[in-house]
Structure 1
């Protein structure tokens, strides 16, 4: 490593890469990236080691990541960030260049997701080889095959990185809660919609917690 080369602190490097400090530490443990230590033991990252993860190598295939959670509560609890970091780790391990990350906090039933719209537009305008998602329902609950065929025509293949971790019942509950709240507010107004959606949510959640042989199917 050259002495005059620009060195970044772990905070600066994580901000530049758009990942958490802990993710950067994990990457280093797995050999994805290297650092040197100051006399006091602090990590310093050379800009030349950061650039490949920003720009990609000439022969690397580009990949977009798409992450989604159904509710604001899930985002605030860190589910969206953890999902993003899992997919980043997966892409790096596969030797892919992460060209962008698109995200939504919205129901999988919502067809007007801003992140999904930007994703499809950018895939059309750029040469993106892969779209990485955690599992099918992250992209769409209905119409997945249509999106898969559309992306394939654009030269982009979908990679599903993980097996489904959330039960179909819980995921469907989250989607129903989000869409019920939205439409109830539009019909009855913000306050009235909240009362209606609260009652429906209690009914839905009660049905799931007391589920028997009749299982909710997505």
Structure 2
């Protein structure tokens, strides 16, 4: 469709031109960031020239946003694994020419209250993060990573998973790891993280898992 001011396109075509979701186009329009006109049918139409100008500006802004590498392990015993994760992430980001920061976390993948995770989510919601890089999806959270990925999509943060295959654990090993993490979290809340009861319960569970394997 062409008007006196130039060619106009539908909201779907506008989203494609900008490389964002239709919901993002609606949000930008409602916020006054993007101009639209109403067609006789009542649908929104967008000037193609405006979209091209905005796309150029937005792409530049995205390039200027930081890449964050996020590494996590569950316990102090896995510190060497944390070091390896950081090395892989930083090498990957360097090779791709990305300006990056690295956030490290120590805590269960079932724990949503970790310091590093909260810092990461805050940065994403502030619009500072152009790219989130992980070695594996489970390094973010054991369950619920998809919710964070949905947040990343909403704030135009690209998610890059270096190793998209599952970690080399059997189903039984994954289940055992999840059980140990669950017991660790709830035992610490029940008895206190440094109590003898807590240590005895965790040690007993860990030994039981080893015996089964």
TM-score by length of 1: 0.61
Which has more radius of gyration?
Answer: 2
Of residues 85, 88, 92, the one that matches 2:87 is 85
Q: 1:133 Cα shift?
A: 0.2
Structure 1 residue ranges (4+ consecutive) displaced by more than 6 angstroms after TM superposition: none
**SS of residue in 2 equivalent to 1:111:** coil
Please, which moves more after superposition, 140-149 or 179-188? Answer: 179-188
2:190 is equivalent to residue 187 of structure 1 = yes
* Count, aligned residues: 148
TM-score by length of 2: 0.62
Aligned to 2:209: 204
After superposition, the Cα gap between the structure-2 partners of 1:155 and 1:120, relative to the gap in structure 1 and judged at 3 Å, is: same
Aligned to 1:14: none
* Structure 2 Cα separation of the partners of residues 69 and 171 of structure 1: 14
After superposition, the Cα gap between the structure-2 partners of 1:129 and 1:60, relative to the gap in structure 1 and judged at 3 Å, is: same
Q: 1:203 Cα shift?
A: 1.7
Summarize the alignment of residues 62-211 of structure 1 with structure 2, pairs less than 5 Å apart: 62-75=66-79, 78-98=80-100, 100-162=101-163, 163-167=165-169, 169-189=172-192, 190-207=195-212, 209=213
Residue ranges of structure 2 left out of the alignment (5+ in a row): 1-61
**SS of residue in 2 equivalent to 1:63:** strand
Residue ranges of structure 1 left out of the alignment (5+ in a row): 1-57, 210-218
* Structure 2 Cα separation of the partners of residues 123 and 195 of structure 1: 39
Q: What do you get for the CA RMSD once the two structures are aligned?
A: 2.2
